[in-house]
């Protein structure tokens, strides 16, 4: 089964992170990693209720990280950790994060 996370800011800025040859991240560790990044990057809840869903965390983190975090080779380890955490936390092998549309599909 194909395992990949796609992060896009529109067609010329689409980054595909292949997870086929990468060790899966345990679900608990993925949720912890996302929580840590959400806090570290100063992300705010999207919903007026203040409730933060896993999908919201993934979207907020991608937006806060910005396109260079996924584009630059210097941040490759971080981008791979993001992809592993997103895939594991959602328990989905194929995840697409569309930052401008604020949508996540799998």
pLDDT tens digits along 24-79: 899 999 999 999 999 999 998 887 777 889 999 999 999 999 999 999 999 999 99
The angle at the Cα of 68, spanning 10 to 100, to the nearest 5 degrees, equals 30
The model's confidence at residue 91, banded by pLDDT at 50, 70 and 90, is: very high
Distances from the Cα of 49 to the Cα of 45, 60, 94, 103, angstroms? 8, 16, 29, 19
The model's confidence at residue 1, banded by pLDDT at 50, 70 and 90, is: low
pLDDT tens digits along 9-22: 987 899 999 998 88
- At 52 the pLDDT is 84
CA atoms of 52 and 43, how far apart (whole Å): 10
Q: Please say whether the beta carbons of 35 and 53 come within 8 A.
A: no
The angle at the Cα of 88, spanning 39 to 15, to the nearest 5 degrees, equals 80
Q: Please indicate, yes or no, whether the overall pTM of this predicted structure exceeds 0.85.
A: yes
**Burial class (CB within 10 angstroms; exposed 0-12, middle 13-18, buried 19+) of 93:** middle
The model's confidence at residue 96, banded by pLDDT at 50, 70 and 90, is: very high
- At 23 the pLDDT is 85
């Amino acid at each position: 089964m194909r395992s990949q996370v796609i992060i896009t800011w529109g067609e010329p800025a689409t980054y595909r992170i292949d997870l086929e040859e990468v060790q899966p991240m345990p679900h608990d560790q993925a949720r912890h990693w996302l929580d840590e990044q959400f806090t570290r990057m100063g992300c705010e809840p999207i919903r007026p209720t203040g409730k933060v869903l896993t999908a919201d965390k993934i979207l907020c983190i991608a937006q806060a990280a910005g396109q260079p975090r996924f584009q630059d080779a210097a941040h490759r380890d971080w981008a791979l950790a993001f992809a592993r955490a997103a895939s594991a936390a959602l328990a989905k092998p194929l995840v697409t994060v569309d930052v401008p549309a604020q949508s996540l599909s799998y």
